[in-house]
Amino acid sequence: MTKFNKTLLAAAVTLASTQSMAAGFQLNSQSATGIGRAMAGDAIIADNASVLARNPAAMALFDETAISVGMTYADINVEVSDVQYDTMLGGTNHLGSLDNAAENKVIPNFYYINPVNEKIAFGFAAFSNYGTGTDLGELNNNQDFNTPIDLLGNTEVVTINLNASMSYRINDSLSLGLGLDIIQGSGTLTRSGDLTLAPGMDPIALNLVDVDADGWAVGGIIGLAYEINENHRFGFSYRFSPEMKASGDISYNANPLTPAENFDEIEIPMADIAQFAGFHQLTEKFAVHYTAQWTQWSTFDHIGLVDGDKGSSEAILKEYNWKDSWFLSFGATYDINENWTVRAGIANDQGVVGEVSSLSIPDSDRIWYSAGFTYNINQNSSLDFGYTLVDGEKVHVLEQSALVGEVSAYTESGANYFSLQYNYNF
C-alpha cells in the first residue's frame, strides 16, 4: 500500500473520535444517576444497579435483587470553523465552517444484580463505553478548487458492552469483584468527493474509502470495595480493554485509474480504564463523593489493516501521539425527604491529543457541569433524571492532507446529556 493510500485510510478511521464527549472516543454516559453527579463516586455509591458498569465488587453492597433500565440522549455539538489551506500558487483556499458536524445519539443501558447469599452476588449488564458519529462531508461541497476529501466524510461507530460479573464478600469491610466483557463493535466510514487538479479543469470523482465492518472482542474488569463503616467507603476497578478487530466490506481507492484495494480486517486498540471512587455520608441527609479515572490512551499507538490473502500481514496506517488522560470529578447528594433526592457534580475531563493535533480528532480539555434528582415512587421503585453540560475548549488544529498539504482549522466540541432511568428492587 502506498503512503498516499495509508494517509487516506488513517484519516478515515481516526475521524471515529470526533463526536464522543469524553477523552478520545470514550463515553461516560452509563447511568442517569452518574450523569446527574458528573460520574462522581459511581464506582462505590451503589444507589442502584448501574454501579455494575463501574465496579463489580460493589454488588456486595446489595442485599436484594435490583434492576436498572435507562437511556441517555446526547445532544452533541461539534463546530469546525475557518478551514483553510495554502495553494501552490501562493493563495489561500477557504473551505468555510460547519456549525454542527456531529450526530445526536440515544444510548441505552440495562443492569441486573442478584445477591445469592451474604457472600456472593452476580450480575449482568449491557451498556457502551465507546462510540461516535460525525459528518464533515459538507466542507467538500461547492468548492471551485481541490478540497482535502481524504480528511472529510461520514463516520458512524457504535460499540455495545455485554457484561457478566460476580462479587465475593471477604469480610465486613472488603469485597472483590470480577467481570467478563463481550464487546460488539460496528462502523461505517466513507470518504468521497470531487478532485479538481487545477482551476477550470473538470473534477475527478473519487471514492477513496468505503467501509462497512463489524466485529467482536473480549475484555474484563476487576474491582474491590472497602467499607470503613456504613457511612464511608471506597471503590477501585480496572477494566482490561481488548483490541477490536472489525471485518466486512473494506475498500480503498486512491486512484480512479487503478482497482480498489481490499482488506479483511481493521484493527483498533482500545484503552484500559482504571478508577478510584469515594463516598462519605457526612450527615443524615448530605453526602459527598468523588472519582479519579485514568484511561490508558497511550496504547492507541496505531491502526492496522489485515489482508488474509497476503499471509495475514498487517499494514501500519498511521502512528499516534496520544497520551493517557485523567477524568476527575466531585459531587454531592442531598436527601430532601423520603421521596426526593437531588445531586450535582463537576468534572475536569483531560484531552488525549499530544503534540500532533488533527482536524479529524477535535479533542480538547472539557468541563462537566451536572445536576439530577431521584424520585422514589414507592419502597421498591424509583425514577432518576440526570443532566450534564459538557463545555469543551476551542482549539487550533493542523493536519496534513495527502491531496492539498497542511490544513488549518479551529474546532470546538460540547454536549448536553439528558438521561432517564428506572430502578426496581425485589
| Other beta carbons less than 10 A from residue 342's beta carbon | 14
Own/partner contacts of 45-51, CB < 8 Å, gap of 24 or more, are 45/277, 45/279, 45/289, 45/333, 47/374, 48/111, 48/382, 48/384, 48/421, 48/423, 49/111, 49/112, 49/113, 49/123, 49/125, 49/423, 50/109, 50/111, 50/421, 51/111
pLDDT digit string (tens) for 149-208? 777 766 677 788 999 999 999 999 999 999 999 988 877 777 777 776 666 677 777 777
User: Is the pLDDT at 22 greater than 60, yes or no?
Assistant: no
Q: What percent of the chain is modeled with pLDDT above 70? A: 79
Residues 6+ away with beta carbon under 8 Å from 276: 43, 234, 235, 236, 291, 292
Question: pTM of the prediction?
Answer: 0.85
The CATH number for 346's domain is: 2.40.160.60
Half-sphere exposure of 334 (CA within 13 A, CB side): 5
197 C-beta neighbours (distance < 10 Å), count:
12
On the question of pLDDT at 1 being above 50, the answer is no
Q: What is the pLDDT of residue 130?
A: 67
Q: How far is CA 320 from the centre of its chain?
A: 18
Across residues 273-286, what is the average pLDDT? 97
pLDDT at 319 over 70: no
What range defines the domain where residue 180 resides? 3-425
**pLDDT reading at 254 higher than 70:** no
How far apart (Å, rounded) are the C-alpha atoms in residues 169 and 150? 54
Tens of pLDDT, residue by residue over 68-121, are 999 999 888 878 888 888 877 777 877 777 777 667 778 889 999 999 999 999
Mean pLDDT throughout 319-347?
92
**C-alpha cell recorded at residue 80:** 469546525
Strand 325-335 relative to strand 286-295, pairing: antiparallel
- pLDDT in the model for residue 5: 38
Q: Report CA 239 to chain centroid distance, whole Å.
A: 14
Look at residue 357 in the predicted model and tell me its pLDDT: 64
Give Cα separations from 246 to 211, 233, 239, 240, 378 (angstroms): 10, 40, 21, 19, 45
Confidence of residue 143 (pLDDT cuts 50, 70, 90): low
pLDDT at 237 over 80: yes
Bridging pattern class, strands 92-98 and 261-269: unpaired
Higher pLDDT pick, 142 / 61: 61
Residue 17: the pLDDT is: 37
d(CA 297, CA 240): 12
The number of domains in the chain is: 1
How many angstroms separate the CA atoms of 414 and 19, rounded? 9
Rounded-to-integer distance, Cα 54 and Cα 48, Å: 12
Q: How confident is the model at residue 313 (pLDDT cuts 50, 70, 90)?
A: low
Top pLDDT among 282 and 78 is at 282
The pLDDT confidence band at residue 36, using thresholds 50, 70 and 90, is very high
| pLDDT the model gives residue 10 | 35
Spatial separation of the C-alpha atoms in residues 249 and 261, rounded to whole Å: 11
Q: What is the mean pLDDT of the chain?
A: 82
Cell 475548549 found at: 393
Predicted local distance difference test score (pLDDT) of residue 368? 95
Q: How confident is the model at residue 392 (pLDDT cuts 50, 70, 90)?
A: confident
What pLDDT is recorded for position 8?
A: 35
pLDDT cut 90: percent of the chain above it: 44
Question: Using 50, 70 and 90 to split pLDDT, how confident is the model at 322?
Answer: confident
Give 289: exposed, middle or buried? Use CB within 10 Å, 0-12, 13-18, 19+.
buried
pLDDT at 257 over 50: yes
Residues 278, 412: Cα–Cα separation, whole Å: 32
Q: Tell me how far CA of residue 362 lies from CA of 25, 104, 304, in angstroms.
A: 11, 17, 22
The 10s digit of each residue's pLDDT in 402-418 is: 777 888 888 888 889 99
What is residue 326's three-state secondary structure? strand
| Mean pLDDT for the stretch of residues 351-361 | 67
Q: Given this model, what pLDDT does residue 120 score?
A: 98
